[in-house]
Amino acid sequence: MEDLNIKIKEIFRNFSNDPGNLIPILQKVQKELGYISLPAIEEISCFLKLTESEIYGVASFYSQFRFNPRGRHSITVCLGTACHVRGGSILMEAFERDLEIKTGECTLDKRFDLDGVACLGCCALAPVVKIDNDIYGNMSVIKLKETLEPYE
């Protein structure tokens, strides 16, 4: 808690309290802390004199901002056209069911976080799942468990 306050105060030092600085501040907070938390929004709210709802309204509009902490490993499921045709959304559902989280969230043990992406650029391998920096092509629901196993 105190740690967060110090980090955020440090970020504010580079900005004036003009509401126009909201997005650069949010970007910086995300870069430093990994995600935008409620206490962080409260601090920004005091600094820029905007309400928490206004800030959340702006932040949630952009897909670049996330509101949940990252896990030790990040799972990215491709939901692009090719992957969609070959069952990307079914894979996503399977991940959600298996990890008991929703898109954008992080598991309770902080092991995985789950996100969707529009295209990873390797449509020949569809459906594609990316875990950290490893690409898994031709994925299927059956392969799901063994794929996750090496990541602790």
Partner 1 sequence: MKVTIDNQEIYVKEGITILDAAQEHNIYIPHLCSHLELSPYGGCRLCIIEVEGMKGYPTACTTKVEDKMVIRTHTKTLQQMRREILQLILSEHPSACLICDEQEECSSFQQTIRKVGATTGCRWCPKDGDCELQKVVDYLEIDKITFPVYYRQLPIENHEPFYDRDYNLCIYCARCVRICEEHRKSSVISLRQRGRFSTIGPAFNMSHIDAGCEFCGACVSVCPTGALSEKGRKWGGIPDSYNASICPLCDLNCDIQVLMKKGKVIGTLPPGDPHQSGGELCVKGRFCLTHIINSPDRLKEPEYLFDEGIGIVSWDEAVKQAGKMLKDVNGKRVAVYLSPNLTLEEILAAKLFFKDIINTSNITSSILNSNLISYISLSEESISLKEIEKSDCIISVFLNGNYNYAPLTLSIKQKAEKGTPYFQIGWIKDTTSRYAYQQIIPFPGREKTFFNKIAQSIENADNSSPEIKELVKKIKISSNPIFILGPDIMGLTEADGILKIIKKIITLTGSKIFLTNPYSNLIGLLSLIDTKSNEEINELISQKKIDLLYIIGDNPFQKRPPVNSIICQSPFPAPDYLNADLALPSAMWGEISGSFADIKGNIKKFKAVTNPPGKAIQNNEIFDRINKEIGKKDIKFTYKGISKLIPKKLEMRFPFVKRKPLKAKISPPNTSFPLLLIQEKNPHIFYNISLSNNIRDMREIVTEDAIIMNPTDALKMEIQNGDSIFVKSDIYEKIYPIIVRKIIPQNFLLLITSSRTFDFNPNPCPVHIRRNNV
Q: Which residues bind partner 1 (CB under 8 A)?
A: 1, 38, 41, 45, 49-57, 60-61, 67
Residue 43 CB, nearest approach to partner 1 (Å): 12
Phi, psi of 113 (to 5 degrees): -120, 155
Q: Which is nearer to partner 1, 57 or 121 (CB)?
A: 57
Residue 120 CB, nearest approach to partner 1 (Å): 22
CB 43 within 8 A of CB 28: no
Q: Which is nearer to partner 1, 67 or 136 (CB)?
A: 67
Handedness of CA 20, 26, 32, 33 (dihedral sign): positive
Going by the DSSP 8-state scheme, the letter that residue 113 receives in this structure is: E
Peptide bond just before 127 cis, omega within 30 deg: yes
Residue 27 CB, nearest approach to partner 1 (Å): 18
Distance in angstroms (rounded) separating the CA atoms of residues 81 and 54: 34
Residue 135 CB, nearest approach to partner 1 (Å): 28
Q: Which is nearer to partner 1, 41 or 78 (CB)?
A: 41
CB 68 within 8 A of CB 36: no
Residue 46 CB, nearest approach to partner 1 (Å): 9
Q: Which is nearer to partner 1, 114 or 144 (CB)?
A: 114
The secondary element (H helix, E strand) that includes residue 40 is helix 38-48
Q: Which is nearer to partner 1, 53 or 138 (CB)?
A: 53
CB 78 within 8 A of CB 119: yes
